[in-house]
Chain A
Amino acid sequence: MTAESAIAEPPAVMTAVAPRRRRARLPLLNLAGAAIVSAAVLYVSFFPVAGLPALGAAFNPTTGAWTMAADAQVTDRMLHLGGLQQPVRVVLEKDGTAHVTARTDHDLFVATGYVHAKFRLFQMDLLRRQGAGRLSEIVGKVALDTDRFELQLGLLRTAQLEWAQLPASDPLRDALLAYAQGVNDRITEAESTHQLDAMFTLLGYHPQPWTPVDSLLVKGDMTQTLNFTDTPLVMALLNKSLGTDLASEWFPILPPNQQAPYDPGPYGKVEPPQGIATMTAMTDAQSASAQAVYERLAALPAGLVSKGGASNNWAVAGAKSASGGALLAGDPHLHLTLPAIWFQLTQESPGFHTSGVSIPGTPGVLIGHNQHIAWSLTDAQNQQTFFYMEKEDSKTHPGMYFWNGAWRKYITVSYQIPVLGGATEHVTVKWSVHGPVISERGQTTSVWWSGNLPSQDLGVLMNAGRASNWQEFREALRGWYSPTHNFVYADDKGNIGLISAGYYPQVAKGQPWMPMPGTGEYDVTGTIPYDDIPQAYNPPDGIIWSANQRQVTSSYPYYIGTASNFFDPGYRANEIHRVLSQPGKLSASDMQALQTDTHDFLASEIVPVLLQSLSKEQLTPQESTVVQLLRNWDFRMEINSSAATIWSYFYGWYVYEVFNPWWKSRAVPVEMQEISDTLDQDLEAWTLHDPSNRAFSAPGVGSRSAADAQRAAFHKMIPQIAKDLGKDPNSWTWGRVHLRVLENLAEVKGLNYGPRPDRGDGRTPLAAGDYPSTHGPSWRMVVDWGSGTFQGIYPGGQSENPASDWYTDRVDTWFAGRLNPMLTAEQAAAAGGIRTWDMRP
């Protein structure tokens, strides 16, 4: 027998014994198999695996994500809240607008906290986590860079300082505590009834109790989004690459184009600004350091660094109003998300009678009206971020920096960042006198940011909402720090006003628009006196407006920032000013129309020049059709307009045609898109007033004029549009290329709204920049004190629950440019389709 045959034919004794052993082993194998499969099923049911939620916890029908179906139903209720002192009534309109009526101010904030948390708890949790650097705890290491940066920038530290410094007698203290109590009442209720927002269930975590510091963090998030900028770093890179002469000419302090400041002066102080130097060249070390910080900030997710603002507001005095009462309109432009940043609310208590929009996570109304005054705000845009390059000597003075003639130790603060599915991250942040160190690549760079000045801005807002006239309103805003805002005002006596309240950092000397030495001579020394900040009250022409433009003329005696990406190019402000300045009376419907105005001011200036430049040009039939479309155009960026598309393509190509050769020849490390606002202004000014500017004769293109560059851009853009949209220019409608998307806050694309064709562009009062546009009018409000009508709308809905009717129910109204009436609590209670919550202690 060979070995092979021995294997193939086992001996008879073996064949008799083996089945019995196998039978004996089978139950054990069966048990092992059952145990392994059961363990696997239980594991994936209880714990998240490979990006999936814990399937059992998340999908079971009684406590899992399916509870969003019940949560979407809002009914009349009687409920008990631990923090209440007296009964409170909440009336919810059929669109979810909440009217809170309380007998004490304390109860008002308890109930507000409850209502916010009922509809927006996940959003609130995300906002506080962003500010506190705790996003990694719930989403894993994908958010680690954001968390590190937020802790480095200091939002948590500042919020903690603000809370610690809040006097025990300050009404804001009680408001924040009461608000936190209300939020926590809702968290307790939601957990006991398994009604937490489904995102908590799917992400597998429970919200921690809300604290006053969390509310201050939410406010810090907004400050960061609106005024933490990298512009000085950009300026440093432009200076180094383009050279000092071109950089100072193209990126000046004062805007190169014609703008419409709302405060024309005269100004209190007559001396020109002291100690502000002209631009000088940077060293290689300085520029390398700026490059390192710039790259660090550029790698952060969108929204953490402000990239220019866009908001409108204006007011019309009673004397110029058709109703005889003052008019006010406001539409702050922000990232358009679902849920929206806003929650519509009316607050009625002994101390408060406010109606408008609030930010979930904070206790008061931010934009709205009371019985006597209305207000809205736009970002004031002044420079509030300064970079300092610290002087160090690691050999003789390790861990120290040189400031005001002495070596000083950095303060260090340590944080831990829990990371889902990973090890806890330890972060140590160094602070100099200027602020946190944000880069140690090359030269150590710290940042002075006004958002890090502890301030009680939420209390200021609450006081402003209690004002009954301009003097009280203006006085309340004296304590407002950051972000600086243009607060527009209109009252029931026909008065109007605008004040750009906030902190205006002043430096002793140096070039504040670029990184500065941190040795002490260039430090921020204080702010502009309150009486000298931009402001106006009852101007003679009866109109007042802001749209992020520079608020003052060239004779304003203080440095407040450069034209480069601090302030808006001014096209929206110019258009608003143009419309409001026309003869005749204005009505609330005129305000509404202006909010959705699609007239592109820049186009109205440039297109006639372009047509003139093309007048003697040999054109193809297709180009002739394009010219004809432009000739017949009313400069409105409407969905069905082909000329709007042509204009948009043209100006992009024109900017590219003029500046790209410079960018290539000088190896500029900043994307043109990053500073397009300033390039737009430059090109506008040169096209209209300096068509032979040296910028048109870039290296490699030879000597040419503005008209030459326009013709070149025109001929190059036609094939590009034809490639994108087809051969027939009549079919190149704006709605084909210009879409709007409302993005889900948790970045779930399937829960976005859109893309949907929309009007406007980045320069029209109906702001809609970018492709697709995700930024724009986040809340439109129109007040007419003459007729006593108050109207508003925001895109989205009151609920963050995507299964709720109140997730997107306001979107169509918003797209159509219509407004909803802002009812009083009494009017709401008498309206149909309401829900009532009776809250008891």
Chain B
Amino acid sequence: MRRYVAILLAALLALAGVLLGLWWAPFVIGVALGALDRRARIVVPAGAAIGLVAWAIPLAAVHIQYGLGPTTQSLAAIMGFDHQRAVPVVVTLLVGTLLGATGAWLGGAAHSVAPRRSG
């Protein structure tokens, strides 16, 4: 239970960071999460989820507030994918996910090699 609470808090922190313009917050939060729990099979998916949520929710908010249709179309055109409007959305969510996942992986890996406290 404590694990889920920690992940939820981490996600909220990452989201707050992104909303404040600190778009790299999922990476930092991921590192912190990994430092707390070194089990890669848990922290990496958790970090990825945190990154995804922290970038997806603000994007959804933009969509609700302004509508993303013309913007996705424009960004796809700029990227050279004129008729594939999903590409910018996918790229955006992928980058957020990767930031969270790699941060958590790095934190967990560092935790694994840190000397353990004896006794």
Contacts and interface: CB of A to CB of B under 8 A. Distances in A.
Contacts of B74: 68, 198, 751, 801-803
A57 interface: yes
Given A27-B113, A38-B27, A750 B80 contact: yes
A60 B65 contact: no
Interface string B14-27: 00001111011001
A7 interface: no
A70 interface: yes
A198 B70 CA distance: 13
B55 A70 contact: no
| Interface band, chain B | 35 or more
Contact of B92 (A60, A70, A803): A60
B68 A56 contact: no
Where chain A touches its partner, the secondary structure class is helix
Given A68-B71, A72-B71, A62 B23 contact: yes
Contacts of B67: 69
B95 A59 contact: yes
Interface in A5-37: 27-28, 30-31, 33-35, 37
Nearest to B65: A70
A147 to B, nearest CB: 23
Q: Which of B65, B88, B106 has the most CB of A within 10 A?
A: B106
| Interface band, chain A | 35 or more
Nearest to B57: A61
Contact of B18 (A60, A198, A202): A60
A56 B18 CA distance: 11
Nearest to A73: B66
Nearest to B75: A65
Interface string B52-76: 0001001101110111101101111
B62 A70 contact: yes
A64 interface: yes
Nearest to A202: B78
A63 interface: yes
Given A61-B18, A751-B77, A69 B62 contact: yes
Given A45-B24, A803-B70, A62 B58 contact: yes
Contacts of B108: 34
Contacts of A68: 71, 74-75
A117 B61 CA distance: 27
Contacts of A198: 74-75, 78
A42 interface: yes
Given A27-B112, A61-B92, A748-B78, A72 B70 contact: yes
Contacts of A222: none
A30 B112 contact: yes
B93 to A, nearest CB: 9
Nearest to B91: A59
A37 B62 contact: no
B21 A63 contact: yes
A67 to B, nearest CB: 8
A304 interface: no
B22 to A, nearest CB: 9
A64 to B, nearest CB: 7
Interface string B78-119: 101010000010011001101100110110111011000000
Interface string A566-600: 00000000000000000000000000000000000
A49 interface: no
Given A30-B40, A66-B62, A72-B66, A59 B88 contact: yes
Contacts of A33: 109
Interface string A782-810: 00000000000000000001111000000
B78 A69 contact: no
Contacts of B68: 66, 69
A29 to B, nearest CB: 9
A65 B72 CA distance: 10
A55 interface: yes
Contacts of A28: 113
A335 interface: no
A64 B110 contact: no
Given A35-B106, A66-B59, A194-B21, A56 B70 contact: no
A168 B8 CA distance: 63
B70 A55 contact: no
A41 interface: yes
Interface string A357-395: 000000000000000000000000000000000000000
Contacts of B103: 38
A839 to B, nearest CB: 24
A30 B107 CA distance: 11
A337 to B, nearest CB: 15
Given A61-B58, A70-B62, A72-B71, A56 B78 contact: no
Nearest to B40: A30
A54 to B, nearest CB: 10
A202 B92 CA distance: 13
B105 A61 contact: no
B95 to A, nearest CB: 5
Q: Which of A37, A56, A194 has the most CB of B within 10 A?
A: A56
B119 to A, nearest CB: 22
A62 B21 contact: yes
A741 B86 CA distance: 26
Contacts of A37: 102, 105
A756 to B, nearest CB: 16
Nearest to B74: A802
Contacts of A801: 74
Nearest to A28: B113
A546 to B, nearest CB: 39
Contacts of A59: 88, 91-92, 95
Contact of B59 (A30, A38, A57, A61): A61
Q: Which of A41, A72, A801 has the most CB of B within 10 A?
A: A41
Contact of A751 (B23, B62, B78, B110): B78
Contacts of A55: 91, 95
A70 B21 CA distance: 15
Nearest to A57: B23
12 contacts: A31-B113, A34-B108, A59-B95, A60-B55, A61-B23, A61-B92, A68-B74, A69-B71, A70-B62, A194-B21, A750-B77, A751-B74
What 3 pairs between A and B have smallest CB-CB spacing?
A: A750-B77, A60-B23, A802-B74
Interface of A: 27-28, 30-31, 33-35, 37-38, 41-42, 45-46, 55-57, 59-66, 68-70, 72-73, 194, 198-199, 202, 748-751, 801-804
Given A31-B110, A41-B27, A750-B77, 6 more contacts: A34-B102, A41-B98, A42-B24, A59-B88, A64-B23, A803-B73
